Amino acid sequence: MSGNDLQGRHALVTGGGRGIGRAIAEALTQAGATVTVTGRDRAALESAVRQGAARGFAVADVTDREAVVAAVREAAAGRGPVDLLIANAGAAESLPFLKSGPDVFRRMLDVNLLGVANAAQAVLGSMIEQGFGRIVAVASTAGLKGYPYVTAYCAAKHAVVGLVRSLALETARTGVTVNAVCPGFTDTDLVAESLDRIVEKTGRSREEALGEFVKHNPQGRLVDPKEVADAVLWLCGDNARSVTGQAIAVAGGEI
């Protein structure tokens, strides 16, 4: 095995039914990996399998540690131990700080931070035993800088980057690497839904609303999910074995 040839590797992608997760699942499958996708939306997961983006799926909420462990156990029973974990599942809420109560911070930490930790803890033991593993967290540029009105989300994504940097040191001699990719605003259905809300609440045109997103990217565009998937694919390959503890921005020069 060399480069991005992932034949014989079993990859698990959380939040793999749509958006960036779906693009990552497709890229890993095309590179030869056997891919399992997890998430809360059974229909989206079934669609990913039906359309060849993944070999199998398990319905699981990443905030539920027992459900994640069960999903990993189910995936391993059918397709072998997980070699590649892509902790992609996440969520964002937009509110002014003074209206962001403890419940908002708790939700953002539960899905964005504990979701990564739960998945990593479920697979790390077997990775260490076999002397190989790749853990890639899909964080965000919000883990590398601040944005207004998403303080809880930014705090949670900063925490993900901290987890990655610490766990990379803890596992440095085990054959496991731990990294994050940090996309800027990406052309997904999540962003499309955000645009719809902005148009509805502000009366702006869709083009004006989109301008608020792309102004952060010096290239003046949304990131393509396939670009994020390509960065993940490289981190999963053998040629990236010396890359660990990194937070790689995929954001057109924003960072």
> Which CATH number among 3.20.20.70, 3.30.70.890, 3.40.50.720, 3.40.30.10 corresponds to the domain 10-184+224-249?
3.40.50.720
The H-or-E segment that residue 59 falls in is: strand 56-59
The pLDDT value recorded for residue 192 is: 84
pLDDT at 65 exceeding the cut of 90: yes
Per-residue pLDDT, averaged over 52-62, amounts to 97
The pLDDT value recorded for residue 208 is: 86
The pLDDT value recorded for residue 244 is: 98
**What are the C-alpha distances in Å from 190 to residues 39, 99, 219, 242?**
15, 22, 21, 33
The H-or-E segment that residue 49 falls in is: helix 42-50
pLDDT at 195 exceeding the cut of 90: no
Per-residue pLDDT, averaged over 76-86, amounts to 96
Active site residues: 153
The pLDDT value recorded for residue 3 is: 54
Residue 161 contacts by C-beta under 8 Å, 6 or more apart in sequence? Answer: 139, 143, 144, 180, 182, 247
pLDDT in tens, 153-185: 999 999 999 999 999 999 999 999 999 999 999
Per-residue pLDDT, averaged over 111-126, amounts to 98
The pLDDT value recorded for residue 1 is: 39
Q: What mean pLDDT is reported for the chain?
A: 95
pLDDT band at 2; cut points 50, 70, 90: very low
pLDDT band at 198; cut points 50, 70, 90: confident
pTM over 0.85: yes
pLDDT at 187 exceeding the cut of 80: yes
% of residues, the chain, pLDDT over 90: 87
User: Considering only 92-101, 154-163, 199-208, which range has the smallest mean pLDDT?
Assistant: 199-208
The pLDDT value recorded for residue 206 is: 86
39: left (phi over 0), alpha (psi -120 to 50) or beta: left
Boundaries of CATH 3.40.50.720 in the chain? 10-184+224-249
Q: Is 142 helix (H, G, I), strand (E, B) or coil?
A: helix
Residues paired with 137 in a beta bridge: 87, 180
